[in-house]
Structures are given as C-alpha cells and as structure tokens.
Amino acid sequence: MDALRDEEDAAAPLVAAPAASRRSPATDAHILSAAFLFVFSAYGAAQNLESTVNTKGDLGTVSLGILYTSFTLFSVVASPVVTRLGPKRALVVGSSGYVLFILANIVPTWYTMVPASLYLGFCASIIWVGQGTYLTSAALSHARDNNLSEGRTLGNFTGEFWGIMASTQVIGNLLSLALLRNGKDGGSVTGKNLLFVVFLGCMIVGIVLMCLLSKREEKGHNGPLHSSFGAMLKYIVAPLKDRRMLLIIPLMVYTGLQHAFVWAVFTKSIVTPVLGISGVGGAMAIYGAAGAVCALATGYLTSGLYSATLIVSMGATVQAVVLFWLLLFYSPMGGVLGTVAPLLIGALWGAGDGMMNTELNAVVGLLFEDAKEASFAQFKVWECGAVAVIFFLSPHITLQAMLILMTVALLISFAAFLLLTFVVEKSSAVRS
C-alpha cells in the first residue's frame, strides 16, 4: 500500500490539488454514490410519507410544493454558486438542508416545516448541480486517463449512480414499512419519531462520506464570482441559446412531472386506497428496486446518443402503457389481484423512470461538457418547476385529469427528444 501511494505521489503534478491526484475518479464516483444512498434513503422515504402523514391542513403536500418552488427559483442561480464553492463544498453544504428538513418532521408545524422547506430548496439546488458537475467531471477524467470512450464511461458512471439512487427507495421505504407497519393512519407518534431519528442517522453517515470526496474543478474560489450581475445572468441563460437544450427541456419537465406523480398521486390515490398508508413503503420499495435494476443495466448499455435514444424510447413506452392502463382499465378492487395491481404499476413506472432518468443525465453531461454547471442548473430549474406544479395542482384536480396531463407531457417530451437525436446526429456534434 505504501509503495502504491509513493508511486501515485510521484506521478502527481506539483501544482495540482494532491487529493484529486491521489484518488481514482472511479473511487470518487463510488463514494459519491454511497453518500447519496444514505442521504436519500432517508429523504426519499420521508418525502413519500409527507402527503399521508402530515395531513392537517395539507401541511405535507403544501410543504413539498414550497420546497420545489424554492428549489426551482434557487436553481436559476445555482450554477455560479457551485462554481464559486466548487462541487465538493456544494455537496457538503447542500446536505445540511436535508438534515434540517428531517428535524422539522419530528415536530411538524407550519413554523418548522415551511422554513425548513424553503432552506432545503436552496440546498437541493446546489447539491444536485454539484452532483451532476462532480460525476461528469469524474467520468470524463477517468475516460481520458484510461483512453476509454467518454460516452460509454459517462454512461457507466451515470448508470451506477442512478441505480444506487433508485435503490434508496427500497431501503428507506422498507424502514418505513417496518416502523409504521401497525399504523393505519401512518403509525404512532413514537413510531414516526423513531423513524425520523433513524433517517437522521443515515444522513449523518452520508455527510461524512461527502467530506471524504476529492476536490474536483474547484475553480474560481480565489477570485470574484462574476464581474457583474449582467455577466452572471448571461452565464446562467447561455444554455438556452443552444437549440439542443431547447429540445431536451421537455424531457426535463416530464422527468419532474413523473417523479411528482409517484410521490404525490400514486402513493395517495392508487396505493393508499388498496394497501393503506403502511403499504406505501412496500409499494415504493418495489418502485425503487425496478428503477435501480434498469438504471444499472441501461447505464452499462449506453455508448452515445443513439443508444441513449433507444433506451429512452423503451422507458417512455413502459410509462405510456401504465398511463393508458390507468386511464382506460384500472379501478381499485379487493382480493389478490387488487393488492398486486398497485405493486405492478409501481414496478413498471420505476423501470421506465430508471431508463429515462439515467439516460437524460448522461446526455446532458455528454452534450454540454463545456458548461456543466449551467446545464445541470437548467435541468433542475425545469425538473423542479414541474414537480412544484404537481404538488400544488394534485389536491385540486381529479386523477383522470392528472393522467391526461401526464400522457400529453410524455408524448411531447418524447417527440422533442427524437428531434434532438436527429439534429445532433445530423451535425455530428456528439461523441460516440
């Protein structure tokens, strides 16, 4: 081990950040994925329970709507913040908002949940822009250091990360299922508080792992962020001048819609009437497991935009089948078939999500390598704006109207992505 360390130290440039030189980018990607596993196993399960546990005055649903509105607004300026902090510091600072949100859920009132949701919106914007920037940087560095295909390497790294992220739904929701299994109304106060204390412990482990990451592209922290507000605004909106970004935005919007549909509509209108609140954890665990398997598999099958388009097509088809099933044939029923139906819907939806979300993140990293922070910030602006819309809209429209909205959004986003593929392939602007 000492000999290996000496060899790595000798190979490192004298002026480079030594931490980034000593550790393999692949190792950093593994650590990043593990950190998000702990943080989002806790947060994801807590978010799934919001609309069914904090029901007084729709506190849970409104809090999530405020959270994602804040997330959307702060995402507009997240890219210069992440550039200033560097992606590693952005990840560590961003994780603090998730801890505060879990603490607020132990004493859920308007005076705790609303401020925590607003602050988490800011933290989420920088942690996710930091994640996209950090993972893309690590993948491209690994590809160049080892003479590998950048498209395939980015697909592998992205597939691993989003496969592990999807598995957070399994771990967190199994914890929810175990600790709330005896409560038809969401469990006793003691059981709920114990669950959130366990979630808090998971987050602390995740934050410690983030602190162990190497620094990557920590540029600009010794100088001014931007020379003027106008320069900063120009940097933020620059990706919108690229027609590739305009064509991929509809899929970013749909990604937010389909995530919020699961969190706010699927759990409340499809799972709870059949399985009860205690069944939400089990249904979401199956959703997460299907997403994890598909994300890992599709990540390793990705080699460029053409393969990504095929996989997105598969994911869109799976979710279209689910939407048409719910629109035309589904109704809650008793017995074994009635119990299995929500679980099967969750599995199919998770499979489609695993395919589309993994490929979308890989394509953004590949197409916009020279403007990673700004591009991932745009991603979060559109995605989280769509999430906020669903959380505010879902209490006021019928399930049928929501399904029609989702179907139209899926068709538009898929058509735009196909056009993006045609435009990029025609101009030969993407690496294979």
Token output for 168: 């957070």
* Residue closest to 65 by CA, chosen among 125, 124, 118: 118
In tens digits, what is the pLDDT along the chain, a chain of 432 residues?
455 445 445 444 433 444 444 678 889 999 999 999 999 988 988 887 776 667 677 787 788 888 888 888 888 788 888 888 888 999 999 999 999 999 988 888 888 888 999 999 999 989 988 898 899 888 888 888 888 888 888 888 888 898 888 888 788 777 777 776 654 444 455 667 788 888 999 999 999 999 999 887 544 444 444 444 455 556 666 677 788 889 999 999 999 999 888 877 888 788 878 877 667 777 888 888 898 899 888 888 877 778 888 999 999 999 999 999 988 888 777 667 778 888 899 999 999 999 998 888 888 888 887 777 778 878 888 888 888 788 778 778 888 999 999 999 999 999 999 999 888 877 754 444
Residues 6+ positions from 104 with CB-CB distance below 8 Å: 112, 113, 115, 116, 117
Phi first, then psi: give them for residue 95, nearest 5 degrees. Answer: -65, -20
Residue 147 DSSP one-character state: T
The C-alpha atoms of residue 122 and residue 117 are separated, in whole angstroms, by 9
Q: What is the pTM of this model?
A: 0.74
Residue 92's pLDDT is what? Answer: 93
What distance in Å separates the CA atoms of residue 198 and residue 332, rounded to the nearest whole number?
A: 33
Query: Strand, helix or coil at 149?
Result: coil
